[in-house]
Amino acid sequence: MNDVLARWNGMSLRDAARELLPCCGSNSWAAAMASKRPLRDEASLLAASDEIWRTLGEADWLEAFQSHPRIGETRAKKAVGAQFSSWSVEEQEKASAPDEALKMALKWGNREYEQKFGRIFIVCATGKSASEILEILRRRLHNDEATELRQAAEEQRQIVHIRLKKWITG
């Protein structure tokens, strides 16, 4: 068993839940993950995460979304710690647009999205350029509310996988 998992498996329920909040800003998800312990390895950690994520409701998804900064920004509406902020910066590294017109297009796209859906645009930005993200944003603006909520939840699930893998490797 990996040292991070061994340490986490031995924590109190409350501390174990708090430890995972930088991976996903949903308190329900974090508490449910802590209650699944002991988890042996990365595969069981990711499987438990997916199982729990599928059982959560819209309010839990929205809580998780609030812990993300907008694409192109570094501060989230709901702060969950320095580790989360550091990971967000890493994830958006390729998305930082040197082109001022592209930056403005993302900014206005974010605003349009928020006006339409009432929440920030969630995309798994890791490895995507600003222009790719803008294209995804524009495409998703055509979704209806239910479709978009499911898409955002899937993007969040992917982000959680990336962060859990970072967390488990220390």
CATH number of the domain to which 74 belongs: 1.10.3330.10
Q: What is the mean pLDDT of the chain?
A: 90
Residue 40 has pLDDT above 50, yes or no: yes
Domain that holds residue 105: 3-168
Is residue 121 within 8 A of residue 70, CB to CB? The reply is yes
With residue 83 as reference, give the H or E element that holds it.
helix 82-91
Is residue 25 within 8 A of residue 80, CB to CB? The reply is yes
Is residue 17 within 8 A of residue 27, CB to CB? The reply is yes
Question: At 73, is the pLDDT very low, low, confident or very high (cuts 50, 70, 90)?
Answer: confident
Selecting among 23, 68, 91, 97, the annotated active-site residue is 68
**142: helix, coil or strand?**
coil
Residue 96 has pLDDT above 50, yes or no: yes
What is the 3-state secondary structure of 116-129? HHCCCCCCCCCCCC
Active site (annotated) includes residue 68: yes
Q: Does the pTM of the predicted model rise above 0.85?
A: yes
DSSP code at position 94 = G
Instruction: Give the residue, 75 or 141, on which the prediction is more confident.
Output: 141
Number of domains, the chain: 1
